[in-house]
Amino acid sequence: MTAAATVPANAAPAHADTPRSQRAARQQQRLARRFLSLDDFEPAAQRRLPRPLFGYVAGATETNASLQGNREAFAQWQFVPRVLVNVSAREQSVELFGRRYEAPFGIAPMGISALTAYRGDIVQARAAAQAGVPMVLSSSALIRMEDVLAEAPGTWFQAYLARDLDAGLALVDRVAKAGVDVLVITVDSAVVPNRENNARNGFKTPLRPDLRLLWDGLTHPRWALGTFLRTLVRHGMPHFENVEAGRGAPLVAKDVTRDFSGREHLDWDALKLMRQRWRGALVLKGICHPQDARRARELGVDGVIVSNHGGRQLDGTVSPLRVLPAVAEAAGSMTVMADSGFRRGTDVLKALALGAKSVFIGRPMNHAAAIGGEAGVAHAIALLKSEIRADMGLLGVNHLAEIGPELLSRRQDRCLSTIPETLG
Ligand SMILES: Cc1cc2nc3c(=O)[nH]c(=O)nc-3n(C[C@H](O)[C@H](O)[C@H](O)COP(=O)(O)O)c2cc1C
């Protein structure tokens, strides 16, 4: 691991010698010793969080076929590196929607992040802003978008299509007023998925104030005191703040049910209305089929995130990596991004080679926030940046634009002579 991985952009300067900066420096050292890759955060988060919460974050749907497939898809591709290239000018910045970011990845939208980490959405957004990468705030967040944007200007916002279109348009107006530039609409969620793992683990929103919740608190004191009770004492009962233009349901309630249904009728006409109303960059998240990418392009959408929602929607949905080339071709001038299962710098480079411009990371950032707050997320971002930098050097490239399919080989290819002309 290089120094870049251990010292995030927002770490206190070494000469600053206040007790606070010394504490921060010690925390950085601890994080650097314990967490050497994004996967290292998961077992630590499992110990820190109550079982229902960890299960909600780490889990997927039904048989977990897509969750597993997302990792397997990366193994299908291998690199064909170039050697003796002067790689001393490596840089990994990328331009998305008129803004330059310092790395080709960002943080995916994740609901109720403020339940797994204290002020979870804010710590993710601040760490991302400090590191110069995008973070997408979820419409299922427990912190108001206005508060997150005040802490981290430039944060993107994710919405679902609202079952009531007027309510959806009112939300779009609120998003614009909050100063968001990029609106992501998630379109893979027409109906509620079969997340039986949530039932098995006892997870539900709103949370019920019952003996189980009490037991979870007693058996996970660091989470109970450092996240849950600290939130209640300092900020009151969290609510779903960004589902619509007004405030949504409380997080803990006896008699309230969150109703996710009623979106079955929404189609491209609904999206058309959103496009007409929203003047900023519009991104569709959850696209897998090239024809949907084409349709989005015809409607004036600016970008797509090829995604199976981290395996959390339709179980058995194809892994983004497998459809990326076809979607990229259909997308034309739209910006193509991807998420689901990205854990390594090499994963990111494979997606770029297959047509993505950038990718998003979900669960590991949530786990990192649960363990280390803003410093944890900063460390996770620095780790991935550092991996990408080393991997680019070993691949023989200085700029992301040099990465294309000619640097990849499909795993079933038996020897180099079977690789087509692309190798030239
Ligand atoms: C805990 C959790 C909550 C999520 N909430 C949302 C959400 O509110 N909106 C959304 O579009 N996607 C949501 N997602 C999906 C992520 O945005 C992303 O597609 C997925 O996590 C990427 O896969 P990965 O976790 O394997 O990196 C959520 C994912 C997780 C793990």
The pLDDT score that the predictor gives to residue 413 is 54
The pLDDT score that the predictor gives to residue 257 is 59
Q: How many helices (H) and strands (E) does the chain have?
A: 18, 12
Distance 189 CA to ligand 1 centre (A): 12
The pLDDT score that the predictor gives to residue 208 is 79
Distance 110 CA to ligand 1 centre (A): 5
From the list 199, 207, 258, the residue with the least C-alpha distance to 231 is 207
Burial state string for 97-131 with b = 16 or more CB within 10 A and e = fewer than 16: beeebebbbbbbbbbbbbbbbbbbbbbbbbbbbbb
Entry pTM: 0.93
pLDDT reading at 152 higher than 90: yes
What are the pLDDT digits (tens) for 225-269? 999 999 999 999 999 999 999 999 898 876 655 667 788 888 999
Compare 198 and 90 and report the one with higher pLDDT: 90
**Beta-carbon contacts of residue 43 (< 8 Å; ≥ 6 apart):** none
Q: Which of 138, 161, 187, 347 to mutate to test the pocket of ligand 1 (most atoms within 8 A of CB)?
A: 138
**Beta-carbon contacts of residue 150 (< 8 Å; ≥ 6 apart):** none
Q: What is the average pLDDT across 34-46? A: 98
The pLDDT score that the predictor gives to residue 253 is 75
What are the pLDDT digits (tens) for 349-383? 999 999 999 999 999 999 999 999 999 999 999 99
Q: What is the average pLDDT across 166-181? A: 97
The pLDDT score that the predictor gives to residue 414 is 56
Give the residues surrounding ligand 1 with Cβ less than 6 Å away.
56-57, 108-111, 138, 140, 158, 186, 285, 307, 309-310, 312, 339-342, 361-363, 366
User: Token pair of 217, please?
Assistant: 């608190």
Q: Is 15 a catalytic residue?
A: no
**Domains defined along the chain, listed by start:** 3-196+258-410 (3.20.20.70)
The pLDDT score that the predictor gives to residue 385 is 98
Nearest CA to ligand 1 atom 10: 109
Q: What is the average pLDDT across 80-107? A: 98
Cis, bond preceding 320 (omega within 30 deg of 0) = no
Contact by Cβ (8 Å): 132, 106: no
Question: What is the rounded CA–CA span in Å between residue 117 and residue 402?
Answer: 38
Question: What is the rounded CA–CA span in Å between residue 295 and residue 309?
Answer: 20
Average pLDDT, the chain: 91
pLDDT reading at 310 higher than 90: yes
The pLDDT score that the predictor gives to residue 353 is 98
The pLDDT score that the predictor gives to residue 3 is 35
Nearest CA to ligand 1 atom 19: 309
What are the pLDDT digits (tens) for 132-145? 999 999 999 999 99
3-state SS assignment for residue 212? helix
The pLDDT score that the predictor gives to residue 390 is 98
For the CA of 309, the nearest atom of ligand 1: 19
Q: What is the average pLDDT across 24-36? A: 94
Task: Compute the Cα dihedral for 150, 156, 162, 166 and give only its sign.
Answer: positive
What are the pLDDT digits (tens) for 105-132? 999 999 999 999 999 999 999 999 999 9
Provide the pairing of β-strand 303-306 with 281-287.
Answer: parallel
User: Token pair of 3, please?
Assistant: 């120094």
Contact by Cβ (8 Å): 136, 107: yes
Ranking 145-149, 202-206, 234-238 by mean pLDDT, the lowest is 202-206
Phi and psi at 214, nearest 5°, equal -65, -45
Provide the pairing of β-strand 358-361 with 105-107.
Answer: parallel
Distance 340 CA to ligand 1 centre (A): 8
The pLDDT score that the predictor gives to residue 201 is 87
Distance 177 CA to ligand 1 centre (A): 25
The pLDDT score that the predictor gives to residue 298 is 97
Q: What are residue 101's DSSP bridge partners?
A: 94
